[in-house]
Amino acid sequence: MSENQTPSFHGTTILAVRKGGKVAIGGDGQVSFGPTIVKANARKVRRLGSANNVIGGFAGATADALTLFDRLEQKLEQHRGQLARACVELGKDWRTDRYLRRLDAMMLVADKDVTFLLAGTGDVLEPENGIAGIGSGGSYALAAARAFFEHEQDAEKIVRRSLDIAADICIYTNRNVTIETIDAG
């Protein structure tokens, strides 16, 4: 890093897998600032909504992601727990609101029926085959999950094993993992 560059917070790994009547979202706990690990047990995956029937994980700036989680919970309440509608409305706000446009985070969210990836461009994407990864180690975890998907029946096991592989490859990913699951329809 040159003298003119300010260190920045780096990555995380969040993975969502929908299989075998379950959906699981997991993430590591590492927070890095430049070359330094500043926290090893951050909780980047949590339950959302008044009924705790939505799970979500974030990658990016923590304060920004928490702001987005709060906004998503408001949208869930406003749209009676309809995750698809809440995500689309949040995506519209994120794309058009000057304050929200500056937020630096991505989210994976799921309920019993659907999984979505939300990005700052206003994108609301439903991942192919119910598997999605975000963050610095997201591609590694996604590749591992795709490989395990055919041979492993349990979504939580796929997430756990895939995050473990991502931790072997990505220096911004650790093995302090949080996984939330819900029964899928």
Q: For residue 167, give its domain range.
A: 9-174
Type of residue at 67? T
Q: What is the 3-state secondary structure (H, E, C) of 113-177?
A: CCEEEECCCCCEECCHHHEEEEECCHHHHHHHHHHHHCCCCCHHHHHHHHHHHHHHHCCCCCCCC
Average pLDDT over residues 13-28: 96
Query: What integer is the mean pLDDT of 24-30?
Result: 97
Count of domains for the chain: 1
Does any domain span residue 79?
Answer: yes
Within-domain flag for 180: no
Residue 1 within a domain? no
In a domain, 181, yes or no: no
Q: Is residue 147 part of a domain?
A: yes
Tens of pLDDT, residues 38-66: 999 999 999 998 888 999 999 887 888 88
* Within a domain: 2: no
User: Strand 22-27 vs strand 124-125: parallel, antiparallel, or unpaired?
Assistant: unpaired
pLDDT at 35: 83
Residue 106 has pLDDT above 50, yes or no: yes
- Residue 135: which CATH number? 3.60.20.10
Specify if 185 maps to a domain: no
Average of per-residue pLDDT across 124-146: 95
Residue 99 domain flag: yes
What residues act catalytically?
12
